[in-house]
Amino acid sequence: MTPSAIVSTHPLVLHKLTQLRDHTTPPPLFRALVRDLTQMLIVEALADAALRPCVVRTPMAECVGAQLTERVGLVPILRAGLGMVDPILSLMPEASVWHLGLYRDHQTLQPVTYYNKLPDALPIDLALVLDPMLATGGSAIAALDCLKARRPTRIKLIALIAAPEGVRAVTAAHPDVPIHVGVIDERLDETGYIVPGLGDAGDRLFGTM
């Protein structure tokens, strides 16, 4: 086990990850499972979110409650990261979304940026980088490099499935960025795919196998 990632141990996460992996799971169910898993992982990832007290009136009396104080921005790595955006927005509709387009060159396994419209300074406090799969770590590192230049206060990386090689690479490049994952798998194969993994997350999300 790679100790630098925060791996969920929730039984529902493990149950739904098993369904997600199944090669017979059709795209509509696959998208629903990504939605469920993303919401469970984001709840765990935001356990340390900053709060401020506030007062509300219930039908019975005044009550001291709490409000999130951090401005949260979602940074999905296109295209598979798109499947993780709406599940978080349904919990945090005030979050902003900043898209970053990266793909892995299948010859070199290196990340290639094809879309980046991020402003010079992001008006957020906490950036959540979203990608279902953390494989070699190249795309995640490139995304984190790009984000750090925009100076958010905090950054976290959220993935459903990771390879130990990817976790080690991201941790070496960005040791200050927490990595929240559903599971860490055995290894990468010679083509850079996670084993046992689930195949290509983008293809399975969008039915383009």
d(CA 172, CA 118): 25
Name the β-bridge partners of 126: 72, 154
**Other Cβ atoms closer than 10 A to 2:** 16
Which residue has better confidence, 19 or 114? 19
Structural domain that includes position 86: 5-206
pLDDT band (50, 70, 90) for residue 12: very high
Q: Which residue has the higher pLDDT, 196 or 115?
A: 196
Which tokens belong to 172?
Answer: 């070496």
Which CATH number does the domain housing residue 174 bear?
3.40.50.2020
Question: Angle at CA 134, nearest 5°, toward 45 and 48?
Answer: 10
Number of domains in the chain: 1
pLDDT digit string (tens) for 60-118?
999 999 999 999 999 999 888 999 999 999 999 999 999 888 877 777 767 788 888 88
Give the predicted TM-score (pTM) of the model: 0.90
Amino acid type, 50: A
**Cα of 201 vs its chain's centroid, Å:** 13
